[in-house]
A and B are shown apart, each in its own frame.
Chain A
Amino acid sequence: MAYLQQYGVYIAIVLLLMYNAAFTSNFISVDNFRTQFIQMVPVLIVALGMALVIGTQGIDLSGGAVMALAAAVIPLYIGYGLIPAAAMAIFAGCLIGVANGAMIAFIGVQPIVATLALMVAGRGIALVVANEQLKSVTNPTILSLGRNSIVGVPYSVLVAVILVAVVALLVNRTTFGKQLVAVGGSRRAAELAGLPVKRILMTTYILAAALAAVAGIVATARLGASVPSTLGNLIELSAITAVVIGGTPLTGGKVKVVGTVAGALLLQLIAATLIKNNVPDAYSQITQAVIILIAVYIQRGKLAVR
């Protein structure tokens, strides 16, 4: 069981790849993998933020709404170029993170309640910002972020790789990362050790929102359009799944960055396998649900052992 908890997700990935190599035509190819990686980028980036939040024993349901808000902001500033537009989109997303963090750290609202409120309100704000309109994005720089590659690596995947490295560094090598898992391990003990618990929680939710905003920018670039009404809808659920099957416990106190990447990859591979074998989308969703249950069951076993 302990072995499964630690390596289950990797074993599942290998098994799935072996199955596809044997039975699915055209699966094991550079082109297909490039497509799969590009498709998993938004979930992965949201999941990185989610892993931080879950590490503090919290949860963030507002990731999709932040993506939508970022998408809504881009057309307003894209005239100044990609960088200013992206900066404004991330700034707008951070405001939602501030709202989440303030409610959770300072007022003491439960994370699931606070972020549920922002999940609903955030998309509403996005629609207001966008005037409830779908806008196509024509700026060539942003389109190239979604479509072009450098030495065969798509820019969006490169962004994700950089962010994975940054978050891994943050978790494993910085004071903040250590304090974050301490707060998740025991908030009371962290407070009594003099840690700035409220500031740590606040920062974590802002980081999660900033990451979700980046996911929104990348997704918008990929689509070539700002679609605040549907972009990132329910993506937070996939992100939570990726984090949990990657070995980060919902009870907090631990953040597995590489595991989160593997979790997101596994979800992507499952979806791709089912599609390529012409299984209807509805079954794909049911399969996802089964995987969540299995992952949570394995995690529960871990708690029981402890």
Chain B
Amino acid sequence: MITPTGTPRDATVLEARGVTKRFAGITALDNVDFTLHPGESLALMGENGAGKSTLIKVLTGVYQPDAGELHLGGTTTTFARPLDAQRSGISTIYQEVNLIPLLSVAQNIFLGREPRDRWGLIDFKQLNENARTLLDTYDIHVNVRRPLHRLALGMQQMVALARAVSIDARVVIMDEPTSSLEAREVETLFRVIGLLRAQGIAIVYVSHRMDEIYRVCDSVTVLRDGKSVHSGLLADLPRVELVSIMLGRSVEKTKRESLTAFGSARTSSQAPTLIATDLTRKHQISGISLEIRPGEVVGLGGLLGSGRSETLKALAGVMKVDNGHVRVGGRLVKNGSVSAAIRAGIVMLPEDRKAEGIIPNLSIRDNIVLAALPRLSVGGFTSRARQDAIVDVFMKRLRIKATSSSQLVSELSGGNQQKVMIARWLAMNPRVLLLDEPTRGIDVGAKAEVQALINELADEGLAIVMVSSEVEEVVEGSARVIVLRDGSVETELIGDEVTEHHLLSALVGEPITVTKELP
């Protein structure tokens, strides 16, 4: 545990008051307050779309708030552009190191601020010496003349960090800094964070890894749906509480409330359609095994970064695994091949429907038949009659609302686009349907329709795996929930155990303390 420095709590280094930011009708930040003290390490938490990135972009001058103000060291300020924020001592370290790979470590650290000799040329001797002195302060040992790309990713990140703090940083914002680091590199990062805090530099730490948050941070601000819903010390906040604040679910709720349109979820005793064994990919998932039976909806629970989407991608052949294999109906599915997975009957609705799902410039018809096109063609020529037969059936059955099947899919609402995606896959007669956030960005009415449809498909014998960051959706839609944490299976909830409370406990990896209630 890193202890806070003795700086008085009332002095703030960076403050946001009532910050609001709207994009084309969507309120990304709604009256958000945010306070940071010198030497403090603050965790900024929230699920996907909670507004974390937007807040960071406001704090670093990438976006200008529509309302509210920023205070820097007690005085009101505005950042018209990112450079203003940087000059005011606010640095950002991103997940991906954004330095110049071919330049040396020293050149990267002092890029744009190189010491000059009397001819106005770069004084490399001085440059390297300065870099070495700086890195020594943080106990980072690396040859400063080496090109950056030759270093391990963790070390590159240290260099980025050193560069950030050498620009008289007062605040360092770290966005998922450990997502691609080895355990040992994480330790070095934490040590450097400790040294920075001792100098009075404040840290904003964005991560989904609970263990890290509780180790490195002393306070937390939680965003949900663009609002700041909680600010306080981490020590006073049990993990379950934190997660329930993030997800907006009260810990006391233990029963199903029928907030969704899912009917009763049933388990199945038939032989599993899909068996995945020991799926492993470095930094993403490790040793994930699961079985999905026909007619059941299995929820894949987990916080952002737990490996839930990655598991789906591994099953769908979108992500190649280093180890492990997937079988459908007993037959091995080729690793890392989308078309092999589709042939085996595994299909996936991707999380980012707009970028990875629909093809916006094509019609509804062309989008629906996209995957099935070869089957609906005769000798390579498309058959409009065969296409329309399929398209009409699914447009009716899934109640896709459109003027005609020739309408551009980009003109449809989110819910109808999602139905087009489902139709695309149903046309392939799949056996396993993988749903990544099936109802994200869909209005309430259409959401209920999609949920009812998922149920209906399961009733017809499809094996369904669903990822959702909405707890009630997972709990009410799934007969079984496999909970992932830090890339591996934490636990599995079956039957009566599928409650919000159990799920919340499992998400953070804490033992379930409440006695089981009668159904």
Residues of A within 8 A of B (CB): 173-179, 181-182, 185-186, 188-196, 253-254, 306
Interfacial residues of chain B within 332-385, with CB under 8 A of chain A in the complex: 338-339, 341-342, 348, 350, 355-362, 366, 369-371, 373-374, 377, 380-382
Q: Give the Cβ gap from A16 to chain B, nearest Cβ, in Å.
A: 30
Given the known interface contacts A175-B382, A178-B373, the answer about A185 and B362 at a Cβ–Cβ threshold of 8 Å is yes
Given the known interface contacts A174-B381, A193-B424, A253-B362, the answer about A179 and B338 at a Cβ–Cβ threshold of 8 Å is no
Q: How far is the CA of A178 from the CA of B371 in the complex (A)?
A: 11
Interface contact A181-B377, CB-CB below 8 Å: no
Q: How far is the CA of A192 from the CA of B366 in the complex (A)?
A: 15
What are 26 A-B interface contacts by the 8 Å CB criterion? Answer: A173-B381, A174-B377, A174-B381, A175-B380, A175-B382, A177-B382, A178-B366, A178-B370, A181-B361, A182-B366, A182-B370, A185-B360, A185-B362, A186-B359, A188-B355, A189-B355, A190-B359, A190-B370, A192-B316, A192-B338, A192-B356, A193-B338, A193-B371, A194-B339, A194-B341, A195-B371
Given the known interface contacts A186-B360, A192-B348, the answer about A176 and B371 at a Cβ–Cβ threshold of 8 Å is no
Interface contact A253-B359, CB-CB below 8 Å: yes
Question: What residues on B are CB-neighbors of A179 within 8 Å?
Answer: 373
Question: What residues on B are CB-neighbors of A195 within 8 Å?
Answer: 370-371
The residue on A at minimum CB distance from B357 is A189
The residue on A at minimum CB distance from B355 is A188
Interface contact B362-A175, CB-CB below 8 Å: no
Question: What residues on B are CB-neighbors of A182 within 8 Å?
Answer: 359, 362, 366, 370
Residues of B within 8 A of A (CB): 316, 318, 338-339, 341-342, 348, 350, 355-362, 366, 369-371, 373-374, 377, 380-382, 410, 424
Given the known interface contacts A186-B359, A189-B358, A196-B339, the answer about A175 and B374 at a Cβ–Cβ threshold of 8 Å is yes
Interface contact A192-B350, CB-CB below 8 Å: yes
Greatest chain B CB density within 10 A among A185, A253, A306 is at A185
Q: Give the Cβ gap from B225 to chain A, nearest Cβ, in Å.
A: 28
Interface contact B370-A174, CB-CB below 8 Å: no
Q: How far is the CA of A193 from the CA of B349 in the complex (A)?
A: 9
Greatest chain A CB density within 10 A among B318, B370, B410, B424 is at B370
Question: What residues on B are CB-neighbors of A306 within 8 Å?
Answer: 410
Question: What residues on B are CB-neighbors of A181 within 8 Å?
Answer: 361-362
Interface contact A192-B318, CB-CB below 8 Å: yes
The residue on A at minimum CB distance from B408 is A306
Question: What residues on A are CB-neighbors of B424 within 8 Å?
Answer: 193
The residue that A194 contacts in the complex, of B338, B356, B381, with Cβ under 8 A, is B338
Q: How far is the CA of A181 from the CA of B362 in the complex (A)?
A: 8
Further contacts, 15 of them, CB under 8 A, given A175-B382, A194-B342 = A173-B381, A173-B382, A178-B370, A178-B373, A188-B355, A189-B357, A192-B348, A193-B338, A193-B370, A194-B338, A194-B339, A195-B371, A253-B360, A253-B362, A306-B410
Q: How far is the CA of A113 from the CA of B338 in the complex (A)?
A: 28
Total CB contacts across the A-B interface at under 8 A: 70
Q: Give the Cβ gap from B370 to chain A, nearest Cβ, in Å.
A: 5
The residue on A at minimum CB distance from B317 is A194
Question: What residues on B are CB-neighbors of A188 within 8 Å?
Answer: 355-356
Interface contact B357-A192, CB-CB below 8 Å: yes
The residue on A at minimum CB distance from B341 is A194
Q: Give the Cβ gap from B270 to chain A, nearest Cβ, in Å.
A: 26
Question: What residues on B are CB-neighbors of A193 within 8 Å?
Answer: 338, 370-371, 424
Q: Give the Cβ gap from A212 to chain B, nearest Cβ, in Å.
A: 23
Q: How far is the CA of A190 from the CA of B359 in the complex (A)?
A: 8
Q: How far is the CA of A74 from the CA of B369 in the complex (A)?
A: 43
The residue on A at minimum CB distance from B358 is A189
Question: What residues on B are CB-neighbors of A186 within 8 Å?
Answer: 355-356, 358-360
The residue on B at minimum CB distance from A253 is B361
Q: Give the Cβ gap from A229 to chain B, nearest Cβ, in Å.
A: 38
Question: What residues on A are CB-neighbors of B410 within 8 Å?
Answer: 306
Greatest chain B CB density within 10 A among A174, A186, A253 is at A186
The residue on B at minimum CB distance from A184 is B361
Given the known interface contacts A186-B355, A188-B356, A194-B338, the answer about A176 and B361 at a Cβ–Cβ threshold of 8 Å is no
The residue that A175 contacts in the complex, of B342, B355, B377, with Cβ under 8 A, is B377
The residue that A178 contacts in the complex, of B338, B341, B358, B382, with Cβ under 8 A, is B382
The residue on A at minimum CB distance from B375 is A175
Question: What residues on B are CB-neighbors of A174 within 8 Å?
Answer: 377, 380-382
Q: How far is the CA of A189 from the CA of B362 in the complex (A)?
A: 12
Q: Give the Cβ gap from B201 to chain A, nearest Cβ, in Å.
A: 39
Q: Give the Cβ gap from A178 to chain B, nearest Cβ, in Å.
A: 6
Q: How far is the CA of A101 from the CA of B342 in the complex (A)?
A: 25
Question: What residues on A are CB-neighbors of B366 within 8 Å?
Answer: 178, 182
Greatest chain A CB density within 10 A among B341, B373, B424 is at B373
Question: What residues on A are CB-neighbors of B342 within 8 Å?
Answer: 194
Question: What residues on A are CB-neighbors of B370 within 8 Å?
Answer: 178, 182, 190, 193, 195
Greatest chain A CB density within 10 A among B359, B369, B382 is at B359
Q: Give the Cβ gap from A259 to chain B, nearest Cβ, in Å.
A: 15
Top 10 closest A-B pairs, CB basis? A253-B361, A185-B359, A194-B342, A194-B339, A185-B361, A175-B377, A193-B371, A186-B359, A193-B370, A194-B338
Q: How far is the CA of A112 from the CA of B377 in the complex (A)?
A: 33
Q: Give the Cβ gap from B351 to chain A, nearest Cβ, in Å.
A: 11
Question: What residues on A are CB-neighbors of B362 within 8 Å?
Answer: 181-182, 185, 253
Q: How far is the CA of A176 from the CA of B350 in the complex (A)?
A: 24
Q: Give the Cβ gap from A297 to chain B, nearest Cβ, in Å.
A: 20
Q: Give the Cβ gap from A242 to chain B, nearest Cβ, in Å.
A: 21
Q: How far is the CA of A256 from the CA of B377 in the complex (A)?
A: 22
Given the known interface contacts A175-B373, A176-B380, A194-B339, the answer about A254 and B355 at a Cβ–Cβ threshold of 8 Å is no
Q: How far is the CA of A194 from the CA of B362 in the complex (A)?
A: 17
Q: Give the Cβ gap from A187 to chain B, nearest Cβ, in Å.
A: 10
Q: How far is the CA of A173 from the CA of B360 in the complex (A)?
A: 20
Greatest chain A CB density within 10 A among B341, B361, B380 is at B361
Q: How far is the CA of A178 from the CA of B356 in the complex (A)?
A: 17
Question: What residues on B are CB-neighbors of A254 within 8 Å?
Answer: 361
Question: What residues on A are CB-neighbors of B355 within 8 Å?
Answer: 186, 188-189
Question: What residues on A are CB-neighbors of B369 within 8 Å?
Answer: 178
Q: Give the Cβ gap from A117 to chain B, nearest Cβ, in Å.
A: 22
Greatest chain B CB density within 10 A among A179, A186, A192 is at A192
The residue on A at minimum CB distance from B349 is A192
The residue on B at minimum CB distance from A177 is B382
